[in-house]
Amino acid sequence: MNITIIGTGYVGLVTGACFSNLGHSVICLDINESRIRSLQAGVMPFYEPQLSELLMKGIDQKTIIFSTSYKEACKNSIFFICVDTPDDGNGNPNLSSINATSSMLGENISQNSLVITKSTVPLGTNLALQEVFDSIFQNKDISVRVCSNPEFLKEGSAVHDFMHPDRIIIGTASESAKETLKDIYKPLNKKINKLIFMSVESAELTKYAANSFLATKISFMNEIAQIAEKTGANIHEIRAGIGSDHRIGADFLYAGLGYGGSCFPKDINALIGYENSANMPVSILKAVKELNDKQVDYFFLKIKNYFGDSLSEASFVLWGLSFKPNTDDIRESIAIKLIQLIASKVQTLYLYDPVAMDNAQQELGSIKNIIFSKSKYADLQSANALIICTEWKEFWDPDLQELEKLKNKIIFDGRNILNPSKLAQRSITYKGIGI
């Protein structure tokens, strides 16, 4: 099928690249001219495992092209909207890109079309879009159907998630839209039916509910971890004990610095916003957010209590700047929040991340006592302690001889990835969360 993807961010590029790999002919549209030129030259705007290879394959086979022209993109009749809906600063999704997209589609669509929203949008957005298109095309003998197909892609494994989905949620009452989407997703739906059809409203809320529930599991475990520390329990043992219960499951039960990124914080805020607009309490979601917001303070207190009055004379090496491993995305990164909290209170911070250094430099470059390290071990001898903020695989089994170079031989592990027993054998003090 001939498909147009609107937006070339994480969701748009992954969706476009994967659809082209499934045999569809794809136009990726974006109004950002410099990004489109870079993509045409095969240059990726961000790091995502497997994506560059998949895009280059599509470019070579001419199954994917990049354009800034709505006129060109509207030669197709199937549109996936994948534009950003960021937090507007007041806890509400910013729908300006959605509105601009619908306006441009209204000006350029010239045939019966299907518009599918993959962007995370608040309840009622798809209905509002349908009303806009109905109004625009009511006298033009053109039918434009709107349906919801929310994405469930994790940064760092987005390509795998797309090609091996747990489920494919589609919100529509249109039988023709259902049949079209069945055809589009047929290569991913051969052996086991992954397609779940529901109302548009249910599809919109399903996306928010899924992310909010995962965030809830994280905040819950962080609260249990604090109790564990007070009682002498071990959060790793607790996770094994409750995660083996099939009713609970082991995923997202990791205590640590809390959740970040572009999705969980934004989606939690969006649902909390319904408290005022719909006059309904959202007590659990507010508690989830509050716990997460306080987790970085809780971790910093560990560092502060250990060094006491000497904190201002201390220097630290910090590993991990992205909000999670396998991405260079630092949006809502807990590491960035910790750095901004601690930088003014210490002598020097040495920072290292496998792929997020450039983005971090843009965000933190104005802070004078920050040094970006050439490697993870480069500045250990100049630091009093090591702080781990992101669980990159290369941090899981470090060279213990290198860690012994730390002046105070202490590690603050914000992701509980190191083995305290091995460190103790080298007389290295370990401070985790819930341990």
Ordered structural domains, the chain, with CATH = 2-196 (3.40.50.720), 199-435 (3.40.50.720)
**Does residue 396 contact residue 408 with C-beta atoms inside 8 Å?**
no
What pLDDT score does 348 carry? 97
What pLDDT score does 420 carry? 96
Please give the share of the chain, as a percent, with pLDDT higher than 90: 93
What pLDDT score does 273 carry? 86
What pLDDT score does 275 carry? 77
CA 402 to chain centre: 32
- Taking alpha carbons only, the member of 92, 105, 79 closest to residue 24 is 79
Q: Is 263 a catalytic residue?
A: yes
Return the ∠ at Cα 224 (arms to 412 and 210), rounded to 5°: 100
Segment 229-242, tens digit of pLDDT: 999 999 999 999 99
Judging by DSSP bridges, how do beta strands 315-319 and 168-171 pair with one another?
Answer: unpaired
**Helices 200-231 and 125-137: angle between axes, nearest 10 degrees:** 160
- At position 431, the amino acid (one-letter code) is K
Please report which residue ranges of 273-410 form alpha helices under DSSP H. 274-277, 283-307, 334-342, 357-364, 400-403
Catalytic residue among 28, 74, 263, 389: 263
Determine if residue 69 is left, alpha or beta; phi over 0 gives left, psi from -120 to 50 gives alpha, anything else beta: beta
- At position 361, the amino acid (one-letter code) is Q
Distance (Å, whole) CA 431 – CA 435: 8
Average pLDDT on 218-225 reads: 97
Global confidence as pTM = 0.93
Average pLDDT on 340-359 reads: 97
- Taking alpha carbons only, the member of 170, 161, 266 closest to residue 215 is 266
What pLDDT score does 91 carry? 79
pLDDT at residue 87 is higher than 90: no
**Helices 283-307 and 334-342: angle between axes, nearest 10 degrees:** 40
Segment 27-71, tens digit of pLDDT: 999 999 999 999 999 899 999 999 999 999 999 999 999 999 999
Confidence of residue 365 (pLDDT cuts 50, 70, 90): confident
Confidence of residue 277 (pLDDT cuts 50, 70, 90): confident
